[in-house]
């Protein structure tokens, strides 16, 4: 560090600062976090074992059985929780002044959020994998292998909705409180979304539930298994994704005024 500083010799990094080093450090960091481990690995699997072990799990549903139906639902819940927690980390990092520090680097804000969303999806995939492995070991769930894979992939795609929700709530609620809203909130949405217990089709509760964010993605995730995909479920899933992405983008643009 003895040469003269030459401002004209400097370059801009490619891809707005996107790089694998950050992804690696962020992943290591998430996996070191005890709360993430509980959300991602332990909780959904335990819930699946608790609900999926009850009577009647061998009854047929579409191309598989009830145990498979519950397994897909629990994988979605686990992935949603994990992805939302990952997205909400944006809030904690803002409170700690980390976002401001990052604004003093070439990292583009949109790239920062994209990397966060990617981490959330990777962790969501881990959550899905864990529930599926537990289901495989338990050996109660039954469906064709292709359906199994299709359900897992669709669940991961649906996880994006909750990564966006996490970022949105993260920007909306200061600091550590985001997860205190997202945790119970997602549990409630899962009840309404037919994820924990089946709601009676045509009931008033069902009519309300059909409008909530977890309802659509749950139907979509299970579509390969059930063999049916109602149009309103797709509309629901796409609409909520749009709402959460727009919300996150709106809060982010407000944020740049004073990081």
Q: Which is nearer to other proteins, 31 or 242 (CB)?
A: 31
Which residues between 69 and 98 bind other proteins (CB under 8 A)?
93, 96-98
Helices (H), the chain: 20-32, 34-37, 43-52, 66-95, 98-103, 109-138, 145-172, 177-192, 204-209, 213-226, 231-255
Q: How many residues bind other proteins (CB under 8 A)?
A: 37
Single out the residue of 53, 54, 101, 146 in contact with other proteins (rule: CB under 8 A). 101
- Burial of residue 177 (CB within 10 Å: 0-12, 13-18, 19+) is middle
61: β partners: 64
257 binds other proteins (CB under 8 A): yes
Please give the DSSP secondary-structure letter assigned to residue 8: G
* β-bridge pairing 60-61 and 64-65: antiparallel
Q: How far is the CB of 119 from other proteins (least distance, A)?
A: 13
Tell me which residue of 233, 211, 206, 238 sits closest to 220, measured CA to CA: 233
Interacting stretch for other proteins, rule CB under 8 A, among 10-18, 118-126, 151-159, 242-250? 10-18
11 binds other proteins (CB under 8 A): yes
Q: How far apart are CA 155 and CA 132, in angstroms?
A: 12
Q: How far is the CB of 172 from other proteins (least distance, A)?
A: 21
Nearest 5°: phi and psi at 60?
-80, 140
15 binds other proteins (CB under 8 A): no
Q: Which is nearer to other proteins, 10 or 139 (CB)?
A: 10
32 binds other proteins (CB under 8 A): yes
Q: Which residues bind other proteins (CB under 8 A)?
A: 1-8, 10-14, 17, 19, 21-22, 25, 28-29, 32-33, 93, 96-98, 100-107, 257-259
């Amino acid at each position: 560090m003895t040469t003269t500083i030459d401002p004209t010799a400097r370059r801009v990094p490619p891809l707005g600062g996107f790089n694998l080093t950050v992804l690696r450090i962020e992943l290591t960091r998430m996996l070191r976090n005890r709360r993430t481990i509980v959300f991602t690995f332990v909780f959904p699997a335990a819930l699946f074992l608790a609900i999926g072990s009850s009577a009647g799990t061998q009854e047929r549903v579409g191309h598989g059985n009830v145990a498979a139906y519950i397994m897909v639902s629990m994988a979605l819940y686990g992935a949603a929780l994990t992805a939302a927690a990952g997205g909400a980390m944006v809030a904690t990092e803002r409170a700690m002044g980390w976002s401001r520090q990052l604004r003093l680097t070439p990292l583009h804000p949109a790239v920062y959020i994209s990397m966060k969303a990617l981490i959330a999806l990777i962790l969501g995939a881990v959550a899905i994998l864990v529930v599926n492995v537990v289901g495989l070991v338990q050996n109660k769930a039954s469906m064709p292998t292709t359906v199994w894979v299709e359900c897992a992939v669709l669940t991961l795609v649906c996880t994006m909705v909750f990564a966006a929700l996490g970022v949105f709530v993260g920007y909306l609620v200061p600091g550590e409180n985001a997860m205190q809203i997202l945790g119970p909130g997602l549990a409630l949405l899962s009840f309404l979304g037919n994820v924990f217990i089946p709601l009676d089709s045509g009931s008033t509760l069902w009519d309300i539930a059909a409008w909530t964010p977890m309802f659509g993605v749950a139907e979509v995730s299970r579509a390969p298994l059930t063999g049916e995909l109602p149009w309103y479920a797709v509309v629901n899933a796409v609409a909520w994704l749009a709402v959460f992405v727009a919300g996150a983008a709106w809060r982010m643009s407000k944020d740049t005024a004073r990081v």
